[in-house]
């Protein structure tokens, strides 16, 4: 599993012009990609890591200050553009595999205490964010 985690002042995701998830206060925007072998261990690791990352103001984590988290599915994080000009997506898990894993990460974050907003899995989404810092990290499960 891969995630791009950005500290944001605000963020939103829209589908067909309708906002489906948003952060009105500072928090984290997470773009989440799922690989073929991701399962419960990777879900637990990723949720704990995101919830505990000390990248918010004054080196606090989302768990320290109850900061909200917007999680958006992003299979393109597994794109491979090393050859040619057209990326391949073969390392990304297909929708029937990745959607339950994406939802499980969101559910695990909520179980840990996070307020989680979501995009719409598989939809064409417009993601807007005001990056704070900017601070952006790439996470990959072991």
CATH at residue 125: 3.50.80.10
Query: Could you give the 3-state DSSP secondary structure of residue 98?
Result: helix
Residues classed as catalytic? 74-76
Per-residue pLDDT of the chain (142 residues; tens, 9 = 90+): 999 999 999 999 999 999 999 998 999 999 999 999 999 999 999 999 999 999 999 999 999 999 999 999 999 999 999 999 999 999 999 999 999 999 999 999 999 999 999 999 999 999 999 999 999 999 999 9
For residue 116, the model assigns a pLDDT of 98
DSSP assigned state of 77:
G
For residue 32, the model assigns a pLDDT of 98
Give the helix ranges, DSSP H, for the chain: 40-52, 62-65, 95-112
Domain count, the chain: 1
Distance, CA of 136 to chain centre? 12
Question: How far is the C-alpha of 51 from the C-alpha of 38, rounded, in Å?
Answer: 19
For residue 101, the model assigns a pLDDT of 98
Domain that includes residue 16, residue range: 2-140
Query: Could you give the 3-state DSSP secondary structure of residue 67?
Result: coil
**pTM of the model as a whole:** 0.96
């Amino acid at each position: 599993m891969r995630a791009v985690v950005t500290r944001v002042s605000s963020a939103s995701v829209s589908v067909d012009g309708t906002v489906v998830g948003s952060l009105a206060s500072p928090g984290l925007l997470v773009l989440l990609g799922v690989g073929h072998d991701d399962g419960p261990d990777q879900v637990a690791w990723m949720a704990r890591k995101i919830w505990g990352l000390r990248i918010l103001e004054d080196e606090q984590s989302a768990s320290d200050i109850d900061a909200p988290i917007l999680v958006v599915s992003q299979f393109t994080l597994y794109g491979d553009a090393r050859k040619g000009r057209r990326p391949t997506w073969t390392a990304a898990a297909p929708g029937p595999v990745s959607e339950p894993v994406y939802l499980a990460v969101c559910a695990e974050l909520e179980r840990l205490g996070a307020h989680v907003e979501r995009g719409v899995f598989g939809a064409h989404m417009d993601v807007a964010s005001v990056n704070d810092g900017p601070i952006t990290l790439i996470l990959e499960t072991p």
